[in-house]
């Protein structure tokens, strides 16, 4: 297993340690996971899959809970 | 202690709130009584589709009149009411339903409702997430959607601004002959009592021809642009209007937030408010037949509600002939969000002795009393 993984967050290429969740990747890129109905930036809260605050678009699929998904090489992640 | 009013409205659903607003605006000393949450009954469960329907000439007249009242009010509604004129697409699956589109087109036109017929290609362009191969659709541009509870709260606030009193947290035990007794011991005296208790109206006024008709709904997370109009299958006409049996229909609504509200089901004689997986599955299967991609979206909540159905699908609006102080504003089945404003205006016109914009006769409660007498 490689020690690092590179992926894109909002179009910017970043590198994270392997085993990092997508939520971690977004935080290290200073990208909010999503924007609320009232326009506020949102990010991970519970870190265990129950609050749904960390949803983002992964490889074109919206509403993925980033705290529950590990980064994979070449993943394309976007703020929702 | 007895409090005296010109008019007391029972129930602060969207219908009662609209009635209190009209009475207060007409200068009547008005009170409105709600046992639970404002707009928390059928109003909270409903889809909020402001829709012109042509099941009968009287239904067309009432829904069109009320849709116009909503579009007049739209600019004053708060953002929380999420009012949006997204239009309705009545979707025709095949050529047989396309013939129905043309029949409906004539009817709507005769009522002055702007309509447009979409062919197969135009429908695909208008709603790319519908499955290919559907025959076409009828577009009613003036139909809208709103968030019913927020709209009800706004109507109630307007009533209060006009001087109406809200009595919240107590329920009416008895009403009639100009007086009302509440569970908290208060009594009210009123020249006019308006029973707007929705599906519970019959508990206060015995003998009403109202049956509960249960419905299920599902709402998704936000997927802006996935659905652009309120979409209803024309086959819905066959299912919604059958007087017995359970039915489901493809009926989806784009919310202003990007969420998609998915319906709908209809069941008589089911009293429990629980979600039934048998019905929910049948409903979602039906929706998937029209919009396969919807299965990939994540649903966040499901709930049920009870419509107040009458035998002829028209509401009960006007005097109850058995009691000169009692008036009804209930029985709106699946159209009470739409027809709330017209209901309230017709009642207020009746109280004022003003000529109504459309005849009140088809909605008078006495139509069933007369039937019973002849039977
Ligand atoms: C699943 C579903 C989808 C629907 N979709 C639509 C739609 O898209 N478009 C549309 O136009 N309509 C729709 N409807 C219909 C619509 O929701 C109803 O017709 C409408 O909300 C009825 O409003 P109401 O004020 O008469 O009743 P309710 O909202 O039920 O209000 C009655 C109120 O009276 C109160 N009350 C009852 N008894 C007493 C008492 N004794 N004392 C004090 N208070 C009392 C209750 O607490 C309640 O708040 C739908 C309904 C359902 C169930
Ligand atoms: S942070 Fe709570 S679900 Fe992901």
- What pLDDT, in 10s, does the model give residues B182-241? 999 999 999 999 999 999 999 999 999 999 999 999 999 999 999 999 999 998 656 555
All residues of chain A having their beta carbon less than 8 Å from the beta carbon of residue B222 are 37, 63
pLDDT band at A50 (very low <50, low <70, confident <90, very high): very high
Mean pLDDT of the region A39-50? 95
Beta-strand ranges (E) seen in chain A are 4-9, 12-17, 34-35, 41-42, 55-58, 61-65, 76-78
Nearest CA to ligand 1 atom 41: B172
Beta-strand ranges (E) seen in chain B are 2-10, 30-34, 49-50, 88-92, 115-118, 136-140, 144-145, 165-168, 172-176, 179-182, 187-195, 211-222, 230-233, 247-254, 259-268, 299-309, 316-319, 326-330
Rounded CA-CA distance B274/B46 in Å is 16
Rounded CA-CA distance B262/B299 in Å is 9
pLDDT of residue A37: 86
pLDDT band at B280 (very low <50, low <70, confident <90, very high): very high
A55 touches chain B (CB under 8 A): yes
pLDDT of residue B371: 61
pLDDT of residue B245: 77
What is the phi/psi pair of residue B75, to 5°? -70, -20
The mean predicted confidence, pLDDT, of chain B is 95
Cβ pair B221:A37 closer than 8 A: no
Question: Å from A37 to nearest chain B CA?
Answer: 7
Q: What percentage of chain B has pLDDT greater than the value 70?
A: 96
Rounded CA-CA distance B90/B99 in Å is 12
* Structure-model confidence comparison of residues B339 and A2, the more confident one: B339
Q: Where are the domains of chain B?
A: 2-45+148-210+313-374, 88-141+211-309
pLDDT of residue B269: 85
pLDDT of residue B369: 76
A59 touches chain B (CB under 8 A): no
Q: Do domains B2-45+148-210+313-374 and B88-141+211-309 have the same CATH topology?
A: no
Q: Is B16 close to ligand 1, i.e. is its CB under 6 Å away?
A: yes
The helix/strand/coil state of B326 is: strand
pLDDT of residue B242: 56
**What's the gap in Å between A30 CA and the centre of ligand 2?**
17
pLDDT of residue A21: 97
Q: Determine whether domain B88-141+211-309 maps to CATH 3.30.9.10.
A: yes
Domains of chain A: 4-79 (3.10.20.740)
pLDDT in tens, B122-146: 999 999 999 999 999 999 999 999 9
Cβ pair B221:A55 closer than 8 A: yes
pLDDT in tens, B79-88: 999 999 999 9
Q: Is B47 close to ligand 1, i.e. is its CB under 6 Å away?
A: yes
CB atoms within 10 A of CB B242: 12
Q: Is the pLDDT of residue A2 over 80?
A: no
pLDDT of residue B244: 58
What is the phi/psi pair of residue A54, to 5°? -95, 20
pLDDT band at B373 (very low <50, low <70, confident <90, very high): low
Q: Is the pLDDT of residue B107 over 60?
A: yes
Q: In terms of DSSP bridges, do strands B136-140 and B115-118 run parallel, antiparallel, or are they unpaired?
A: antiparallel
Superfamily of domain B2-45+148-210+313-374: FAD/NAD(P)-binding domain (3.50.50.60)
Best residue for ligand 2 mutational test, from A24, A33, A43, A51 (most atoms within 8 Å of Cβ): A51
Rounded CA-CA distance A71/A9 in Å is 11
ipTM over 0.90? The verdict is no
pLDDT band at A60 (very low <50, low <70, confident <90, very high): very high
pLDDT of residue B67: 98
What ligand has the least distance to the C-alpha of A33? Answer: 2
CB atoms within 10 A of CB A11: 8
Best residue for ligand 1 mutational test, from B17, B198, B236 (most atoms within 8 Å of Cβ): B198
Q: Is the pLDDT of residue B1 over 90?
A: no
All residues of chain A having their beta carbon less than 8 Å from the beta carbon of residue B298 are 63
CA-based nearest residue to B127, from B154, B87, B159, B165: B87
Nearest CA to ligand 2 atom 3: A49
The single-letter DSSP state of residue B84 is B
Mean pLDDT of the region B302-316? 97
What ligand has the least distance to the C-alpha of A56? Answer: 2
Cβ neighbors of A25 (< 8 A, separation 6 or more) are: A7, A9, A14, A16, A66, A71, A77
B361 touches chain A (CB under 8 A): no
A60 touches chain B (CB under 8 A): no
Q: Is B42 close to ligand 1, i.e. is its CB under 6 Å away?
A: yes
pLDDT in tens, B316-329: 999 999 999 999 99
The mean predicted confidence, pLDDT, of chain A is 95
pLDDT of residue B277: 95
Q: In terms of DSSP bridges, do strands B49-50 and B144-145 run parallel, antiparallel, or are they unpaired?
A: antiparallel
Which helix (H) or strand (E) segment holds residue B78: the answer is none
């Amino acid at each position: 297993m490689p020690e690092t993984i590179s992926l894109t967050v909002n179009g910017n290429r970043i590198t994270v340690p392997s085993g990092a969740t997508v939520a971690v990747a977004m935080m290290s890129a200073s990208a909010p996971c999503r924007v609320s109905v009232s326009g506020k930036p949102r990010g991970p809260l519970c870190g265990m899959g129950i609050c749904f605050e960390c949803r983002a678009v992964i490889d074109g699929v919206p509403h993925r809970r980033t705290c529950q998904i590990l980064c994979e090489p070449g993943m394309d992640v976007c703020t929702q | 202690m007895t409090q005296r009013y010109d008019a007391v409205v029972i129930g602060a659903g969207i219908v009662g709130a609209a009635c209190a607003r009209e009475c207060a605006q007409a200068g009547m000393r008005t009170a409105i009584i709600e046992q639970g949450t404002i707009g928390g009954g059928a109003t909270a469960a409903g889809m909020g589709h402001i829709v012109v329907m042509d099941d009968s000439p009287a239904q067309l007249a009432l829904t069109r009149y009320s849709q116009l009242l909503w579009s007049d009010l739209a600019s004053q509604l708060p953002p929380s009411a999420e009012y949006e004129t997204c239009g309705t697409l009545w979707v025709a699956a095949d050529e047989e339903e396309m013939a129905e589109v043309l029949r409906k087109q004539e009817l709507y036109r005769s009522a002055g409702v702007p309509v447009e017929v979409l062919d197969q290609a135009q429908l695909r362009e208008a709603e790319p997430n519908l499955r290919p191969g559907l025959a076409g659709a009828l577009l009613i541009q003036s139909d809208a959607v709103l968030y019913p509870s927020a709209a009800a709260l706004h109507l109630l606030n307007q009533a209060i601004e006009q001087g109406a009193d809200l009595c919240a947290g107590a329920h009416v035990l008895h009403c009639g002959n100009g007086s009302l007794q509440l569970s908290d011991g208060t009594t009210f005296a009123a020249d006019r009592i308006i029973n707007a208790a929705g599906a519970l109206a019959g508990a206060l006024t015995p003998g009403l021809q109202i049956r509960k008709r249960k419905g299920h709904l599902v709402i998704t997370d936000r997927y802006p642009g996935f659905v652009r109009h309120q979409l209803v299958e024309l086959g819905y006409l066959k299912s919604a209007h059958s007087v017995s049996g359970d039915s489901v229909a493809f009926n989806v609504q784009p919310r202003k937030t990007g969420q998609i509200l998915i319906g709908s089901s209809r069941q008589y004689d089911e009293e429990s408010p629980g979600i039934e997986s048998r019905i929910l599955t049948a409903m979602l299967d039906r929706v998937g037949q029209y919009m396969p991609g919807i299965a990939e979206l994540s649903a966040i909540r499901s709930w049920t509600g009870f419509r107040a159905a009458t035998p002829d699908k028209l509401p009960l609006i006007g005097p109850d002939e058995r009691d000169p102080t009692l008036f009804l504003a209930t029985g709106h089945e699946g159209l009470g969000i739409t027809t709330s404003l017209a209901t309230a205006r017709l009642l207020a016109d009746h109280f004022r002795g003003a000529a109504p914009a459309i005849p009140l006769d088809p909605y008078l409660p006495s139509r069933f009393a007369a039937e019973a007498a002849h039977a």
